[in-house]
A and B are shown apart, each in its own frame.
Chain A
């Protein structure tokens, strides 16, 4: 007979198991909200340009450009973006314990995902052009089954990310495989 799937069977007091609730999470880089803010302004500008462009192609633009409320309409949301970028950045945080890594995210749907080191298949450090400008990288952690990263922590400084990566590889006993 194979050893039972559950193996050793010592009684465990469920309340004695360390809980995820007690973890202190750490915030992302202070550049992260700045990046979000910049990206949202760029996206807003792009949207505005498209609307104006369509208007320009379909007729006269000068009347619209002469209206004062157009400028209010453009500037007003920027305050909201500023607040939103800050709030979104604050909602994302991570924590490392002795045996697992946790990532919290989401303003409306708040999510905590936990990933034990001994299930890590490989770890990637990625950075897009905008991230590089802000001197940040994303850390992506993969487990078995599934093609996408199971956990993706953005807004880390390159030094910190490579430190975490090295730690994960060491803990996950991945050796050169990662």
Chain B
């Protein structure tokens, strides 16, 4: 299926349309856009609902009917106006109803091509061709409604084109030979059964992040406005008065129920997103397929990987699993690592420590970081964080409460740095760093841990910052910027920071290889 098509055999060198079934794709796209940014357009409709009186249902159905017709019409015209054409080394796309858009994508600038198969395309054997290019994010291109074989051929051609222009020295395969790809070893790295996906659902942090957001939202609601809440409060109050143990056990029970529901949601989500997760490696690129409702197939050239992050959130520690993140070049926001959305981070969920090492050895064959001793950062880090962050935070409430109430209770916020101390200590202890002449590894984390591994030659910029305190103590903070991530090593000896700095520059400047 990954057979690149010989250029002479391109079936369509002419402008062509996508399949008519793509109308559904355009409808979904418009609906998605509308939900994301246009929902306030419904406000007038809401106003009608509340003010129209007798005729309201008639008006609503009229408006909705018009909207539906408009939507279908718009999708149909969009389908008519959307054309693409593939030449020997470019993809050309024409789109837009009112404002025409013409886009030329050179194969050489294409970062990645993914095939996404939404549920509604499955009966037709169609896919969405998702093309990521090295440019601004607005250059991201999706062609919805392409027949699967053609999409696969386009992808293979684009990827092989990149490959052949990258491998200087190898003879350019003008006509890809069949034996080649057949002989290429194809190793199945990961094939996840449902149980492993469930494990991923239990051990990733996403659900807790969502839960805390939800809690923040819930706390914003003025519950006392609602009758049921007051009833509940009264009932709970009387229950506590009558039988404290029953009340406590009910409280615990409801906590357990809430946590179980959250975990269940997380597991179901993990299974839906990563259903039949499979990761292959053919010696040049990784190939991943996953998804229940929307199957996605993504290829990633090994040379494109900027850094490898091994993450172990605290639940994953209990389950003895790691989640691996492969960072690619991100052209919009360098710091924004959104889990599971977009193609920026390529996640390999729920693998063992042994596999993590093996995988790391594929990316960094000469880097045996297991045998390295990670150096700790300086203890001054703890002192600085407590003294310059937590103490200042605790002072204003102390002053305001003490002055306001006049009681000694107001001094309680001063305990904050003490309470924070164990956590800061934990964070300090997690930090560790080591390097050889070509690679670096940085460990960080808090309750869980995170190992970041990268090649020096892929770094973009490196900087050293020193505060007055660090200057006195001979320490420094090292910042390493890669395309796709920024790494920080706080409070390391100045000598180490400068050695890393100089060594990284040396490697970048003496490397002739493509970093992207």
Contacts and interface: CB of A to CB of B under 8 A. Distances in A.
Contact of B364 (A6, A11, A19, A114): A6
A119 B460 CA distance: 6
Contacts of A143: 460-461, 481, 483
A35 B334 CA distance: 32
B429 interface: no
A100 to B, nearest CB: 6
A109 interface: yes
B365 interface: yes
Given A20-B502, A116-B508, A147 B332 contact: yes
A70 to B, nearest CB: 30
B366 A4 contact: yes
A131 to B, nearest CB: 24
DSSP majority for the A interface? loop
B259 interface: no
Contacts of A108: 467-468
- From B284, B499, B505, name the one whose CB has the most chain A CB atoms within 10 angstroms: B505
Interface residues of B, number: 50
B367 interface: yes
B309 interface: no
Nearest to B137: A147
Given A109-B466, A114-B462, A146-B334, A99 B509 contact: yes
Nearest to B185: A1
Contact of B461 (A4, A19, A113): A113
A18 interface: yes
A12 interface: yes
B143 interface: no
Contacts of A150: 460-461, 481
Interface residues of A, number: 37
Contacts of A113: 461-463, 479
Contacts of B481: 143, 145-146, 150
Interface of B, secondary structure class, is mixed
A5 B507 CA distance: 12
B471 A110 contact: yes
A73 interface: no
B365 A5 contact: yes
Contacts of A100: 505, 509
B331 interface: yes
A145 B334 contact: yes
A114 B466 contact: no
B511 interface: yes
Contacts of B516: 144
Contacts of B505: 20, 99-100, 114, 116
B506 interface: yes
A144 B499 CA distance: 24
B302 interface: yes
A145 B460 contact: yes
A159 B513 CA distance: 34
A150 B479 CA distance: 12
21 contacts: A2-B303, A5-B367, A5-B455, A6-B439, A12-B437, A20-B464, A20-B505, A99-B509, A106-B465, A109-B465, A109-B466, A112-B464, A113-B462, A114-B463, A114-B505, A115-B460, A116-B508, A143-B460, A143-B461, A145-B482, A150-B461
Given A1-B283, A145-B483, 11 more contacts: A1-B365, A2-B283, A12-B506, A14-B499, A20-B502, A100-B509, A116-B508, A119-B459, A119-B515, A144-B483, A145-B331
Closest 9 CB pairs of A and B: A145-B483, A113-B463, A6-B438, A146-B334, A143-B460, A144-B483, A99-B509, A4-B365, A116-B508
